[in-house]
Amino acid sequence: MTKQTPIPVIEMKIMRNKVGVFPDRRSAGEVLAEMLKDYSHSQALVLGIPAGGLTVAAVIASELQLALDAAVVNKITPPWNSEWGFGAVVFDGSVVLNQATLARLDMDDQTLQGCIEVARSKVQRRLKLLGAEALAETLAGREIILVDDGLATGITLRGAIEGLRRAPLEACSVREVKGFGRQKSYLDQYTEGEYSFAFLSKVEINIWVDDSRSEEVIRKIVEIARTGRMGDGKIFVLPVDAEAAVIDF
């Protein structure tokens, strides 16, 4: 049997076994921001799970000067109880079910599929409303702070975590560069040399993905970057034969 590494839990013991400890979600966000202050002004990305979790996440992002986005997940509930979730539909379209709970519900497949579709339609509406359809492109090379406003069964948060793990990027780096192709609109004069070259400010993105995901990533880049004007850039696909971590030597 594989031994699982225990997940570290950080808590405020003064609040243990108490209820009503936060007057509102903003107050909760301020307390969490203080606990997360080591991430202040970093490249970490705060992801809030709508609706309540996004409110808390917005406070954390504001207090720590971090980027904010939405991890849209909606719990799947039985027709007779809209608050109790036995599964979740995730932003990438996947479905997570608590099989043990589902077995106790003794729900027929038609009813189950109806419940899933209700949750799926909510996810699609929120993705469009929040502009969070291209979440994977914001994850590259960043630590993620995933925020919800409370846990009951935990299925919504579990779905969000599994969705993030399936994001198509294995690794990514971004840097600002200068260069030129057919565009020679601006001229940088290098005073220490005898030559002048026309350079434009560019962004170079290097992304490492599994072969099975490369087409998906290319489509997403084209979808987001294309303007139809000169300068949209090029995509080069190259094999990575090997890698070595400096720390291992």
Which of 1.25.10, 2.30.30, 3.40.50, 1.20.950 would CATH assign to domain 15-165? 3.40.50
Structure tokens at 180: 């030129």
- The domain limits of the chain are 15-165, 171-248
Kindly report the average pLDDT of the chain as a whole number. 75
Output the pLDDT for position 186: 44
Q: Identify the residue with better confidence: 181 or 40.
A: 40
Q: Please, what is the Cα angle at 135 between 150 and 5, to 5 degrees? A: 55
Output the pLDDT for position 114: 92
Burial class (CB in 10 A: 0-12, 13-18, 19+), 62: middle
Residues 6+ apart with CB under 8 A from 7: none
Output the pLDDT for position 161: 73
Q: Please, what is the Cα angle at 17 between 84 and 30, to 5 degrees? A: 80
In this prediction, residue 190 has a pLDDT band, given cuts at 50, 70 and 90, of: very low
pLDDT at 120 over 60: yes
The average pLDDT across 213-232 equals 70
Reported in sequence order, the residue ranges of the chain that DSSP labels E, i.e. its strands, are 45-48, 67-70, 73-76, 87-90, 95-97, 144-147, 171-179, 188-189, 196-197, 200-208
H helix intervals, 42-108: 52-64, 99-105
The average pLDDT across 214-237 equals 73
Bond from prior residue into 51 cis (ω within 30 degrees of 0): yes
Decide if 172 contacts 205 (C-beta within 8 A).
yes
Output the pLDDT for position 200: 58
Residues 6+ apart with CB under 8 A from 87: 75, 76, 95, 96, 97, 98, 102, 115, 116, 119, 155, 159
pTM for the predicted model, two decimal places: 0.58
Decide if 73 contacts 105 (C-beta within 8 A).
no
**What is d(CA 48, CA 46) in angstroms, rounded to the nearest whole number?**
7
The 10s digit of each residue's pLDDT in 147-178 is 888 777 777 777 777 777 766 555 555 555 55
pLDDT at 64 over 90: yes
Structure tokens at 99: 């099989």
Decide if 224 contacts 137 (C-beta within 8 A).
yes
- How much of the chain, in percent, has pLDDT values that exceed 90? 9
Output the pLDDT for position 181: 60
Highest mean pLDDT pick, 29-33, 95-99, 137-141, 155-159: 29-33
Output the pLDDT for position 188: 46
Output the pLDDT for position 5: 58
**What is d(CA 77, CA 118) in angstroms, rounded to the nearest whole number?**
9
Output the pLDDT for position 236: 85
pLDDT at 197 over 50: no
Output the pLDDT for position 47: 86
In this prediction, residue 30 has a pLDDT band, given cuts at 50, 70 and 90, of: very high
CATH number of the domain at 171-248, please? 3.30.70.120
pLDDT at 228 over 70: no
Q: Identify the residue with better confidence: 142 or 94.
A: 94
Decide if 88 contacts 118 (C-beta within 8 A).
no
Output the pLDDT for position 170: 53
pLDDT at 57 over 80: yes
